[in-house]
Chain A
Amino acid sequence: MKARMFMQRHRKAIAGYMFILPWLLGFMAFTAYPMLYSLYMSFCKVYVTTTGIVTQWIGWSNYGYAFFTDPQFLQTVAGFLESSILEIPVIIVFSLFVALLINQPIRLKGFFRAVFFLPVVISSGEVINQLFSQGAGTIPLVQQYGIVSFVQANLNPALSTPIVAVIQQLVLVLWYSGVQILIFLAGLQKVNSQTYEAASIDGASPWQSFWKITLPEVKPFILVNLIYTIVNLFTNSLNTVVILIKQDMFDVTTGYGYASALSWLYFVVIFVILMLMVLLFGRNEEYGMRRAR
């Protein structure tokens, strides 16, 4: 009996491995191997010849070049980080706000949900490029009421430049919130409605119940959304750093090796930022990343 049960369990474990086998193979061929290869390339000068790729080991030179010689890389990364520091909170707060609105007992819930999710479907790099180069990205109202000049007049440039940048591409920032709204919505729907009733019987105002009930319940989803937002902003094809890396890839003086070094540096930047977020927002007993049982 015992032996049979052991066999049964064994059989089940093997079946489990068989189910995830495609991913294991894919991970090795399309993620692990390319990662190692690009790490190796980042220490090389890579020549593309008619017979194939020729690599020549040059140690840390690519990384040294990125830090000390390349006029663009550090500046582009810094500029991008500066703008995203403001964009990320805007996206998080906005998506929580919209999720709270949709979660109210309203009519046409499905319609509103469809509207707020629409950008996820159409917002590819090229379409966004077209729309926004034609001026569809800013709302005329924002310009008319002079919010931009007000901000510029009242804050010092270091602070006002990123704020103005966010205002000027407000629609774009909001368009990046579609998935986040859904994630928050899923979180809000899991809050027990009886908790709110009990709180209101005890005389809590909606404002109080938001801070005391909703926000703590939604907190794990804030981390999930932060991670999603950061990955999304950092890897989308309109990102200036991403564009720079692609340029360097086909530049004769820099080439594959240098582009690999840049992408690894960029990966480290993303990783460090994500770890910071996990440390800052995931310290509770119920850490945000879904438990992987």
Chain B
Amino acid sequence: MRQTATDMLWKVGAKGRRVLLGRQGNDGLLFRAVVYALLISIGFVYLYPMLYMLSQSMKSLSDLLNPGVIWIPTSIDLKNFIMSWQVLHYPTALLESLYVSLPPAIAQAISTALVGYGFARFEFPGKRALFILMLFTFIIPVQVVFIPLFVMFNNYSLLGTPLPFLLPSLFASGLKSSLFILIYAQFFRSIPDSLEEAAQIDGAGYLKTFVRIVFPISVPAIVVVLLFSFVWQWNETYMSSLYFGNTLTTLPLQLQAFANSFALLYPATQSVSGANNLNEAIQMAGTLLTILPLLILYFVAQRWFVEVVDRAGITGE
């Protein structure tokens, strides 16, 4: 009797232990709890600057100065957004940002797809060397080529137009093109080639096969490249500040000049209220407005994104 009781107790204990710690060491409750705790805390650290920005941007001046108000403002103050909307010249800057980012992104998504397909599906002499050369361009710092490019675009009077970004993108040499070619090449290799062979037996040429068969089923890869290309182009300030001069502007460039434009638009007054002084909240509102289009885009596109990573792996092999 006693024997069976301890036996049962032992069994229950073992079962409990199994639930808690798991059979393989990574399926127990305890392990799961640790994983979630870690993910949530690291996730918080990751999102901290974003949350901080969101909370700051909505604070009124009194909230900003009140040490009791940490995360949640006493009232939602949209004045910061209205002010920074004007300081950034938002509608103009947004349109011009799109104007200089979207065409190069589309051009790059198409041209790098062609090149990636060439590397993925064809055999030709020198392919390996060319592929390595292509990867090699990834590590060349932009400073090495930037001055001659600047001089060249200046000679052809292309400065102040989106062409200094569009032209290299058309020839698969825009920002981080080698990364995109690599992503495409890996993706195309993951597609079974029977479809293309069938199309070729039916008499379609290589380009036609690519346009009609391969391109339509590569939507996830295209979306990812388009997204990356657009985002990086959008965020680019190093070259664009020099390429565009005073003729064109982008949201990040406007953000760079935020303090100066603010002083121009709202001349500092001696008033006690300090209503016209640039504060943290207004700056955070401006930053949020600058990245808002990217955030929206990211939440729309991220489902494709996961698919591509699962299918091809960003690096493949």
List residues of chain A with CB under 8 Å of any chain B CB. Answer: 9, 12-20, 22-27, 29-31, 33-35, 37-38, 41, 52-53, 98, 101-102, 104-106, 110, 112-127, 129-132, 134-137, 139, 170-171, 174-175, 179, 182-183, 185-187, 189-190, 196-197, 200, 205-206, 220-221, 224, 227, 231, 234-235, 237, 242, 245-246, 249, 256, 259-260, 262-264, 266-267, 270-271, 274, 289-293
4 closest Cβ pairs, A-B complex: A26-B171, A19-B118, A16-B122, A124-B235
The CA of A12 and the CA of B133, in the complex, are separated in Å by 22
Q: Contact between B206 and A260 (Cβ–Cβ < 8 Å)?
A: no
Main SS class of interface, B: helix
Q: Contact between B140 and A16 (Cβ–Cβ < 8 Å)?
A: no
Q: How many A-B residue pairs have CB under 8 A?
A: 290
Whether a CB of chain A sits under 8 angstroms from the CB of B298 is yes
Residues of B within 8 A of A102 (CB): 39
**B side interface size, CB within 8 A:** 105
Nearest A residue to B236, CB-CB: A124
Main SS class of interface, A: helix
Chain B positions 132-190 with a Cβ under 8 Å from a chain A Cβ:
132-135, 137-149, 151-152, 155, 167-168, 170-173, 177, 181-182, 186
Q: Contact between A171 and B148 (Cβ–Cβ < 8 Å)?
A: no
Q: Contact between B49 and A137 (Cβ–Cβ < 8 Å)?
A: yes
Interface 9-mer from B12-20, B263-271, B309-317: B309-317
Least Cβ distance of B67 to chain A in Å?
Answer: 13
Whether a CB of chain A sits under 8 angstroms from the CB of B11 is no
The CA of A99 and the CA of B191, in the complex, are separated in Å by 26
Whether a CB of chain A sits under 8 angstroms from the CB of B256 is yes
The CA of A80 and the CA of B142, in the complex, are separated in Å by 18
Q: Contact between A105 and B27 (Cβ–Cβ < 8 Å)?
A: yes
Least Cβ distance of A153 to chain B in Å?
Answer: 25
The CA of A131 and the CA of B111, in the complex, are separated in Å by 35
Tell which of A12, A22, A125, A134 touches B238, judged by Cβ atoms closer than 8 Å: A125
The CA of A198 and the CA of B218, in the complex, are separated in Å by 36
Q: Contact between B313 and A187 (Cβ–Cβ < 8 Å)?
A: yes
Q: Contact between A270 and B141 (Cβ–Cβ < 8 Å)?
A: yes
Residues of B within 8 A of A38 (CB): 144-145, 147-148
Least Cβ distance of B215 to chain A in Å?
Answer: 13
Whether a CB of chain A sits under 8 angstroms from the CB of B237 is yes
Given known pairs A13-B124, A25-B171, A101-B38, the reply for A136 and B141 (CB within 8 Å) is no
Residues of A within 8 A of B80 (CB): none
Least Cβ distance of A258 to chain B in Å?
Answer: 11
Tell which of B38, B147, B152, B238 touches A260, judged by Cβ atoms closer than 8 Å: B147
Nearest B residue to A17, CB-CB: B124
Chain B positions 266-308 with a Cβ under 8 Å from a chain A Cβ:
280, 283-284, 286-287, 290-291, 294-295, 297-299, 302-303, 305-306
Least Cβ distance of A105 to chain B in Å?
Answer: 7
Residues of B within 8 A of A22 (CB): 111, 114-115, 170-172
The CA of A274 and the CA of B138, in the complex, are separated in Å by 12
Given known pairs A26-B168, A113-B306, A270-B141, the reply for A20 and B130 (CB within 8 Å) is yes
